[in-house]
Amino acid sequence: MNTAPPRPAPSEAIPSREALAADRAAALALTPVSRETEARLDRFVELLWTWQAKTNLVSPATLPKLWSRHVSDSLQLLNLAPSAKVWMDLGSGGGFPGMVLACALTETPGAMVHLVERNGKKAGFLREALRVTGAPGTVHLANIEDTVDRVAGPIDCVTARAVAPLHQLIGYAVPLVKRGAKALFLKGQDVEVELTEATKYWKIEPRLHSSRTGGQGWIVEIDEIKHRNPSTGHDGSPL
């Protein structure tokens, strides 16, 4: 399969075909998936390259390592919630982790990924990505705080990546976690600082998982959330 992307905007560095293939191979070796899922991920990545030229979906600096920095980073969440079928991705942006999870769950009966995105262009990209890949998902063009209380039915897992500080994400996730969802938040090297801030507002017993994709990334797993002060809003700040 041709893994070379469409030509991006002139301002973006164009990785070589060999570099892209090597990055893809390394990512899939780290987080293996079925051939069918690989094919869907290829279609998703090709679409992202096309849209990236006109809409900033991911940081241009990360494009040479798109598979290892974004795709594999997203896939690793599946191992932490292997029985989860219905996910909600807060602030889906360019589709990480939500679209990647949807691609991987396509063969799972009853699977659904709710993609919450307030930016109209990015929401349009996500809708097209769902169409092109045939992955099970739905796009909610709305603010996060306006969505978490309104989605009917059970949510098995709620996730987010590069969206907001941890204490705000926890506040957004409270209604879902109270309904039985597990929270899995992808965070960077400042996770301890964010956890310290979060515990000012929330009673939590987080479990930290080192990212399998290397670097200084972490996954924060939370199964129960309680307010330290009942008079707080979605972001944990006083009402």
Class of domain 73-227: alpha beta
- 234 pLDDT band, cuts 50/70/90, is low
Is 96 annotated to bind a ligand? Reply is yes
Q: Is 94 annotated as a binding residue?
A: no
| Residues 188, 14: Cα–Cα separation, whole Å | 26
pTM: 0.90
The number of residues in the chain equals: 239
Least confident among 74-78, 154-158, 213-217? 213-217
Query: Residue 11: pLDDT band by 50, 70, 90 thresholds?
Result: very low
State whether residue 98 is helix, strand or coil. Answer: helix
Is 155 assigned to a binding site? no
Provide the 10 A C-beta neighbour count for residue 30.
16
> What is the model's pLDDT at position 216?
85
> pLDDT-based confidence at 230, cuts 50/70/90?
low
Q: How far is CA 117 from CA 32, 65, 92, 98, 131, in A?
A: 28, 24, 6, 11, 17
- Per-residue pLDDT at 213: 86
Q: Which of 205, 137, 140, 143 is nearest to 172 (CA)?
A: 143
Within a 13 Å sphere around the CA of 75, how many CA atoms are in the beta-carbon half?
23
Give the model's confidence band at 7: pLDDT under 50 very low, under 70 low, under 90 confident, else very high: very low
pLDDT of residue 17: 87
Above 90 in pLDDT, residue 12?
no
Please write the tens of the pLDDT for every residue from 124-137: 999 999 999 999 99
Residue 134, marked binder: no
pLDDT tens per residue, range 13-63: 567 889 999 999 999 999 999 999 999 999 999 999 999 999 999 999 999
Higher per-residue confidence, 5 vs 108: 108
Categorize the per-residue pLDDT at 9 as very low, low, confident or very high, splitting at 50, 70 and 90. Answer: very low
CA–CA separation, 114 vs 137, rounded Å?
6
- What does the alpha-carbon distance between residue 162 and residue 86 come to, in Å, rounded to a whole number? 21
Query: What band does 1 get if pLDDT is binned at 50, 70 and 90?
Result: very low
Q: Give per-residue burial for 162-178: e unless 16+ CB within 10 Å, then b.
A: ebbbbbbbbbbbbbbbe
Share above pLDDT 90 across residues of the chain, in percent, rounded to a whole number: 83
Q: Is 44 annotated to bind ligand?
A: no
Q: Give yes or no for residue 10 having a pLDDT over 60.
A: no
